[in-house]
Structure 1
Amino acid sequence: MRVSTRLIFTALLATTGSTFTAMTANAAATQAAPIAYPKTLRQDVVDTQFGVKVADPYRWLENDVREDKAVADWVAEQNKVTNAYLDTLPGRDIFAFRIKALYDYERYGLPYKKGGRYFYTRNNGLQNQSALYVRDSLNGEGRMLLDPNTWSKDGATALASWVPSEDGRYVAYAIQDGGSDWRTVKVLDLATGKETADQLEWIKNSGVEWAKDGSGFYYSRFPEPAPGQKFQATNEHHKIYFHKLGTPQGEDKLIFETPDLPKRGHYGQVSEDGKWLIVTSSEGTDDRYEITLIDLARPEAKPRTLIAGLENNWSYIGNQDTKFLWATNKDAPRLRVVSLDVAEDDPKPVEVVPEDQATLDGASLLGGTLMLSYLVDAKTEVRRYSLDGKKLGTVALPGIGTAGGFGGESDDPETFFSFTSFATPTAIYRYDAATGQATPWAEPKVLFDPAAYEVSQRFYTSKDGTRVPMFVVHKKGLDLSKGAPTLLYGYGGFNISMTPSYSPTRLAWMEQGGVLAVANLRGGGEYGKAWHDAGRLQNKQNVFDDFIAAGEYLIAQGITTKDKLAIQGGSNGGLLVGAVVNQRPDLFAAALPAVGVMDMLRFDRWTAGRYWVDDYGYPNKEADFRKLHAYSPYHNVKTGVSYPAILVTTADTDDRVVPGHSFKYAAAIQAADIGDKPHLIRIETRAGHGSGKPTDKIIEEYADLWAFTAKHTGMTVK
C-alpha cells in the first residue's frame, strides 16, 4: 500500500480545522431529541426445536432486498435514520478527509512470474480498484493490461483474481461485481492485447489452473441457481471442469464430481511438472481434506483417492516426480512437512520437517529449497530447509510483522514476498533463494512517520486461565493517565490468525489519540489445531470469554476505561461482537458488528452458511442447538439493561453472510428496552462481504464508523 499526496493536505487540515470545529459543534447541538427508529413489522413466527419455543418475529427480513419491496423499503428507512444521525457527528468530515489522504499512496501487489514476464497489480492511490500490469523484465517499464476502474460507473466491479498461462501469453481473470462472491472468468491475449471470446459463469470458491501447454485451464463451478435465488440459495454440487480456449463453456469437459456427496467442494491444482491434477475436497471450513489424484498423462486412468476420510489438513507443496511434499496436521497439531511416494500402492507419510513449537502457516518449494513460514506468537518467521529436511537458516525480515508470498518455480531461486505491520505499510521485496538476499522491489512512500507509533504485544489471562496474546498499538508518548479511547478488534474462528497488518483507516483512528488493540482469541489459527478447537463447536464460549477478558485487561492496565472502550469485528467477528454485547453490555461504550452471523439457528440455510457447521455445529442437532441458542446474538438481546451504542454494518449484495442476519438483529435491538444510546444499522449498496469494495466506499464507511465511535468513547476529534 503508497502515496502521492502533497503536503497541501496537511496545510488544508490546519487551515480548515476551525471551520470543521464550528460546523460539528453546531451539528452536535442539533442532536438532542431521541432517535425515532423506523417501525419494523413483528410477525407471530415461533418454531419449536427440541422442546424449546424460539420466536423469530423478523423472519420476513431474511428475504432478498432485490426481490422483496417491503425489505427494500425497510432498508431505505433505516439508512435514512442512520444517515440523519451520522450527519450530526463531530469529526465525520475530518476523518473522511484524513482517511482519504492516508489512502493516497502508490501500492503494489506481489509480482507473479510466468514466461519471463512479471505480472502484478498497482493502485496509484485513490483508485477504487487496483489495475493489472506486466513487465517484460524485472525492472522494466510496466504497462497496464486490465483497468477495472473502467468496468463500472460506481467503481464496484473488481478484478478478483488473475492467473497467467505458463508461457505468459494469456491471463485468465475473474470479475467480481458489486461485492458478490460469484465470479465471471474471462481471458486476455497479450499477443493481441484483446479479450478472447472465452467467458465462464457461475464460478465460486475456485481458482484457475492452467494446463502446462496453455491450451486451457481447470476451474470449479456450481450449477446455475434458480431464478431469484442467486444471492441466497445454498451452494451444492461443486464440480471441476476443463475449459479449452476458444470453445463455449457448454462444451467444457467435466473432470471431477461427487454427485452422491453434494455438499463437498472441490479445488484442483496442476502439479508443476504438469503430470497430475491434485483435487482437494472438503465439506466445511475446517482444514479436513480428502485428496484425489488424476493422472493427466493418462486420460483413461480413473481418479485415485490418495488420502480419504476428511480427517486432516493436507496442503500440497510440490513434487519431484512421484514424491509429493505436503504440509499436514496429521499427528502434528501445529503442522509438519511430510512426503508421500504416489508410486506406492499404499504410500505412508515420511517426515521431512517435524512439528515445531511455532505454527506452520505456509510452505513453498523454491530453487530446490523448502521455504516454511511460521507463526511465532502471531508474528511471521520464515525458515529455509533442504528437501531432506536440513535447516538452512532463516530469512531476514524488515521487522516484527507479517510476511507473505514466497511463491515461484521449484527450480527458480527468484521469488517475492510482502511485509507489513500495524504502522508499516505493505512493501514488496525480491528474494534470491540461492544467495539468501532480500532487496526492496516496491516500497511505499507515505504521509506519516511509522516510527511515531509504538507496537507492543501483551499476554493476558482469560476466564479459564488460558494465556492469550494481544497487540496494542498507539502513538508514542500517548498520555494514558486517564485512559484513552480504545478500539478492541477480534475474530476468533475458522482457524484464521490475526497477524500485524497496516490499515490507513486504523491509522486515522490512532492519529487522533486512539489506541488499537487486536486480540488473538481462541478459535483462530495462531497456535495450531488445538487453539482452533478450543474456540469452536461446544467450546465457542471460550472465544467470547477471551474477548471479554481482553477488554477487562485493557481497563485494569489503565489503557482505557469502560466509557472509552469500543469493540469491532466482522463476519464471525460480527457474531463475536453481538454475543459479548449481550453477555457484558456494561463493559463497552460502543460496538461495531460488521456483516455478522447473528441468527445461529438458521445460518446454514443460505449460500455458504452450510460450510460453517465445522465451527458452529448443526442447528438441527440437539446438543449443538442448545449451545447455539445460548449465545445467538439475535435470540439473546436483553431487555431492561443499558446497552452500549451500536452501529451495525452490512451490504445489500453480501451473499456470504446474507444481510438478513444483520437486518433481524438490528430490528431486535431497536425494539428492545436497552437504553437511550443509538442502535443503528448502516446498509451499503452495491457491496458485499468486503472483498472488491471500492476505495471511496471504504473511506465513507470508516469516516462514519470512527465518528460514531469517537462520539461514544469521548474522543475529541481535532
Structure 2
Amino acid sequence: MEQKYPKTRSEDIVEIIHGVEVKDPYRWLEDTSDPEVQEWIAKQMEFSRKVVESYGDQEPIKERLRELSLFDAMSTKPVVIRKTESGYRFFYLFRYKDDPQMRLCYQDGFDGERVELVNPIDISSESSAKIDCYFPSWDGRKVIYGYSLEGREKTTLRVFDIKYNRLLDDEIANLVFASVVWSGDSSGFYYAVNAFRPDEDDTRVGSVLYHKIGTSNNCDITVYSKDDSRFSYIHLLGFESSNWIVLVNDRGKDKDLLVVHTNFISSETISYNLINNASFLRPRVKEKFLFVLYESPSSSRRVARYQIDSSAFDSIPEQCIILEQSESVFDDIAPLDESLLVVELRNAKSVLVRYILDSDKSEVLYGSDTTVHIKSLSTNDDAKFILFSANSYHRPVSQYVCFQTGKIVPFFEPELNLSPHKYTTEQIWFPSFDGKKIPMFILTKRNIDLEKPHPALLTVYGGFGISQYPAYSPLHVVWNELGGIFIYVNTRGGGEFGRKWHEAGMFEKKIDVIHDLISSADWLYENGFSSPEITGIRGSSNGGLIVTAAMGVFPQKFKSVFAINPLTDMIRYIEDSIATYWISEYGTPKQKEAFKWLYSYSPYHNVNLQEEVPHVMFYVAANDARVSPMHSLKQVANLQSNIGVQSNKSKALLWWKDTAGHTGESSMDNWIDFWALELMFHISSIGIELDDSKSIHNGLTREQNKG
C-alpha cells in the first residue's frame, strides 16, 4: 500500500556562489516560528507516528531499557570536596531508581548519610527541570546550583543555605555554560556571562561579574571584560586561599588562560595572560599552585605549574614545566602532595597514572586491564586523596577514591540487572581509504558466532577535537542482547590522539572523516561481521553531519541512518550566528576554496539517486540552542521529494521533540522513549523481527532468513 508523504512546497531559489549554481528549494523551512513551518512539522509528525506504529509493540524493548536505566546512580560530573569543621563534605548529583532527574545531594565523610538539597521535581512538576551545575562555598555551608528547563541550555542560578536549610532570594537567570567562583568569605560570588551567539543583545556578554549575597542583581560589579572581539566562552576556577581567579577564554579551537585579581577597596583589577592560543587547556588548583595541562600549536601536551602568591601583584607568575607527554595523550590531571595523577589516553582508552614529581618514577594505578574512560578528577587543598569516575561500555559510572598511597576504593558503585562478563569489547584497527589506520571498538555478546554476518550499528562523531570515549549506554547493551554488533568508530577529527588527530579531520579534511566511517563499514563487510543490508549508522550534531554525508556518498553501503540534530546545509550553516564558533572547524563558504569542499560533501546538496537510499530518521530537539532545526527540516523535505514513497522503498522521517535540547532528553522516561524509538527504527529498517516473547534476551531473527 502506498504511503504518501505530507506535501511540501518548493521554491525556485538559485544563487550563484563563486560561479556555481546553488539551488535551495526549501529555504522557507528555515524559520521554525513561521506558522506554515509549524503546520508542516505537525503533518510530518503525524506521518512519522503512523510509520513508527507499524514497527510493532515497543514495550518488550522498553521493559529491558528500564532495567538498564532505572537504578540508583551518580552523575559523571565531578564530586566537589569541601573541608568543614567536622571533616570532608562531598557534593554530587544522584538519581534514585524512580527519579526522572538527578538530585543535588551531599554527604559528610566517606560513609556519611546522603542528604538531599535540591530535587528538580520541586522546580518543575512536569519532570522538565535539570540541574546543570553546582558550586559549593569554600566552607561547605552554602551551595549555588543552576537548573534549566526542557533541554534549554539557559541556566538559572539559585543559592541554598545548608546551615539554615533554606533557599535564598538571590537568582541570576539566562546564563550559558554557567561558571561560578565563591569569594573567600562566602559573602558573594563571581560569575561569567556567556552567550551562544555573538549577536545576543546583552552588554554583559564576555564579562565576569561579582554578586554579593542578599543584594539586587543591578548592584553586581563587573570585575573583568575581555578586550578581545573574538567570540568565546569564559570558564572560571578559584583559589580557596586567595582572591585570584583563573579565567579561560575558550574560542573552540583556541583557548587563553589568565589569572585575575580584584581589590574591592581600591576598585583595581589586575590580570595576567599565562597561556595563549592553546588547542587544549585544563587548569587545576591546589593550595597556592596552579597546574595547567595544555597543548600549544608548537608542542605536545604538557603540564605547567605556577605559584600564585596572594600578595604579589607586580609581575607575571613564572611558568615551570613539570611534565611532558610522550606516547600517550594526557587527558586530565590532579595534584596530590608530591605527585601528579594523570589520566592518559592509550589508544582511546584511559589509564590513571601517578607521576612522582622531581623524579622519573611513575606507576599505573587504574585501567590497565580494561577498556574504560576515567574522568572528573577532584580534590581539595587539604585532602590526601582524589575522587574520580570510571565508565565503560557495559558497566555504568562508578566513583572511586584514590589515596596518596595509591590505594583505590569505591565511593559509589551502581547495582543493576547486568552482567558485564557476558559481553566483549575488542579494539580493531582498520585501514581507511588512504591507508591510515583508524581504531574502532566492536561490542558484542560473548560467544557470538562472528563467522556469519550480524546486524551492525556504527556510531561516529569525528569533530572539534572531541573524543569518543568508552561509555555505558542502554542503547548498545540492548542491541548486543538482540544479537547485534555495536561499533564506536574513532575517526579523525576527534581528540583521542591529540591536536594532530583533530586537525586531520578539519576543513577540507572533513571529507576524510566521512570516508573513515565508510571504510569502517567496508572492513566489517570484508571480514564477514556484517553486510550492507543489515547495517545502520548513527551520529549526533557533527556526527549527524558525518552519517548523512556518508549516506550521500555511498547510500548502498547502509540500510538505516539515524541522525540526531545534524548539520546538513553546509552552505547556509553560517547564517546562524553561533556558526562563528564553528568556522575554525569547517571553514566558511564565503571563501572560494572552502566553498568547494563544503559544497562537495554538504548532505543537502548531495543526494545520490543512482542507488537506493537508506531509511533515514532525523531526530530534532526543538530547544536545541546550538544546531538549527532547519538542517533537518530542509533535508527531510529534500529526501522525501526525491526518493519516492512506495511502502517497499526507503523512507525519510522527521521526529520532532518539544522537550529536548542539544545535549539530550529532559527525563529518564524520555531517554527510554528515545532509545526505544531508535532501536525500533533500525530493527524495522533492516528487516529484523523480534521473537514473540516479552524478554528481548531471546534475540532476533531476520525476515529474509525465515523458512
TM over 0.5: yes
CA-to-aligned-CA distance 1:595-624 (integer Å, 9 cap, x gap): 111121222333533211121112322222
Question: Do structure 1's residue 682 and structure 2's residue 655 form an aligned pair?
Answer: yes
- 5 Å matches for 1:63-462? 63-64=31-32, 67-90=33-56, 92-109=58-75, 110-114=78-82, 115=84, 116-222=88-194, 237-258=205-226, 261=229, 263-283=231-251, 285-286=252-253, 288-296=254-262, 300-307=267-274, 309-310=276-277, 312-318=279-285, 321=288, 324-330=290-296, 334-340=300-306, 345=315, 349-388=319-358, 390-397=360-367, 399-432=370-403, 434-462=404-432
Deviation at 1:34, TM superposition (A): 3.1
CA-to-aligned-CA distance 1:276-299 (integer Å, 9 cap, x gap): 11221133x21x222232123585
Work out which of the residue numbers 599, 606, 626 in structure 2 matches 1:636.
606
Work out which of the residue numbers 1, 26, 29 in structure 2 matches 1:61.
29
Question: Do structure 1's residue 560 and structure 2's residue 534 form an aligned pair?
Answer: no
Deviation at 1:303, TM superposition (A): 3.6
8 Å CA contact 1:414, 1:431 repeated in 2 = yes
Q: Secondary structure at the match of 2:378?
A: coil
Question: Do structure 1's residue 482 and structure 2's residue 452 form an aligned pair?
Answer: yes
Q: Secondary structure at the match of 1:420?
A: strand
Distance 1:260-1:45 versus aligned 2 partners, 3 A rule: farther
Question: Do structure 1's residue 709 and structure 2's residue 690 form an aligned pair?
Answer: no
CA-to-aligned-CA distance 1:419-440 (integer Å, 9 cap, x gap): 12111122221221x2211111
8 Å CA contact 2:440, 2:487 repeated in 1 = yes
Distance 2:378 2:203 in 1: 31
Distance 1:267 1:143 in 2: 29
8 Å CA contact 1:158, 1:692 repeated in 2 = no
Distance 1:443 1:224 in 2: 36
Q: Secondary structure at the match of 1:395?
A: strand
Q: Which has the larger displacement, 544-553 or 439-448? A: 439-448
Deviation at 1:236, TM superposition (A): 9.6
Q: Which has the larger displacement, 122-131 or 584-593? A: 122-131
Q: Secondary structure at the match of 2:210?
A: strand
Deviation at 1:393, TM superposition (A): 1.9
Question: Do structure 1's residue 661 and structure 2's residue 631 form an aligned pair?
Answer: yes
CA-to-aligned-CA distance 1:356-413 (integer Å, 9 cap, x gap): 1111111122344311111000110111123436434221347331111221124312
Deviation at 1:693, TM superposition (A): 2.5
Distance 1:262-1:245 versus aligned 2 partners, 3 A rule: farther
Code of the residue aligned with 1:643 in structure 2: it is V
Q: Secondary structure at the match of 1:668?
A: helix
8 Å CA contact 1:234, 1:606 repeated in 2 = no
8 Å CA contact 1:277, 1:294 repeated in 2 = yes
Identity of aligned residues (%): 27
Q: What's the counterpart of residue 620 of structure 2?
A: 650
8 Å CA contact 2:445, 2:483 repeated in 1 = yes
8 Å CA contact 1:327, 1:363 repeated in 2 = yes
Question: Do structure 1's residue 589 and structure 2's residue 559 form an aligned pair?
Answer: yes
Distance 1:654 1:406 in 2: 29
Q: Secondary structure at the match of 1:448?
A: coil
Q: Secondary structure at the match of 1:574?
A: helix
Q: What's the counterpart of residue 668 of structure 2?
A: 695
CA-to-aligned-CA distance 1:47-97 (integer Å, 9 cap, x gap): 332222222222222213xx3211211111111111100001145232122
8 Å CA contact 1:103, 1:126 repeated in 2 = no
Code of the residue aligned with 1:415 in structure 2: it is I
Work out which of the residue numbers 527, 530, 546 in structure 1 matches 2:497.
527
Distance 1:235 1:572 in 2: 30
- 5 Å matches for 1:498-517? 498-517=468-487
Distance 1:91-1:450 versus aligned 2 partners, 3 A rule: farther
Deviation at 1:345, TM superposition (A): 4.9
CA-to-aligned-CA distance 1:492-541 (integer Å, 9 cap, x gap): 01111112111112211111111110011000011111100000112111
How large is the Cα RMSD of the aligned pairs? Answer: 2.5
Deviation at 1:200, TM superposition (A): 0.5
8 Å CA contact 2:29, 2:633 repeated in 1 = yes
Structure 1's unaligned 5+ residue stretches are 1-32
TM-score, structure 1 normalization: 0.89
Distance 1:444-1:325 versus aligned 2 partners, 3 A rule: closer
Distance 1:192-1:348 versus aligned 2 partners, 3 A rule: closer
Structure 2's unaligned 5+ residue stretches are 692-707
Distance 1:469 1:192 in 2: 53
Distance 2:299 2:28 in 1: 43
Q: Which has the larger displacement, 401-410 or 268-277? A: 268-277
Deviation at 1:694, TM superposition (A): 1.0
Code of the residue aligned with 2:497 in structure 1: it is Y
Deviation at 1:319, TM superposition (A): 5.8
Distance 1:249 1:677 in 2: 55
Distance 1:417 1:245 in 2: 32
Distance 1:256-1:620 versus aligned 2 partners, 3 A rule: farther
Distance 2:400 2:28 in 1: 51
Distance 1:306-1:341 versus aligned 2 partners, 3 A rule: farther
Deviation at 1:223, TM superposition (A): 7.3
Deviation at 1:566, TM superposition (A): 0.4
Distance 1:334 1:713 in 2: 44
Distance 1:458-1:518 versus aligned 2 partners, 3 A rule: same
Q: Secondary structure at the match of 1:539?
A: helix
Code of the residue aligned with 2:412 in structure 1: it is A
CA-to-aligned-CA distance 1:92-140 (integer Å, 9 cap, x gap): 2321222122212111235322133221222122422011111123211
Code of the residue aligned with 2:283 in structure 1: it is Y
Code of the residue aligned with 1:242 in structure 2: it is Y
Code of the residue aligned with 2:405 in structure 1: it is T
Distance 1:407 1:602 in 2: 42
Distance 1:258 1:49 in 2: 36
TM-score, structure 2 normalization: 0.91
Q: Secondary structure at the match of 1:296?
A: strand
Q: Secondary structure at the match of 1:78?
A: helix
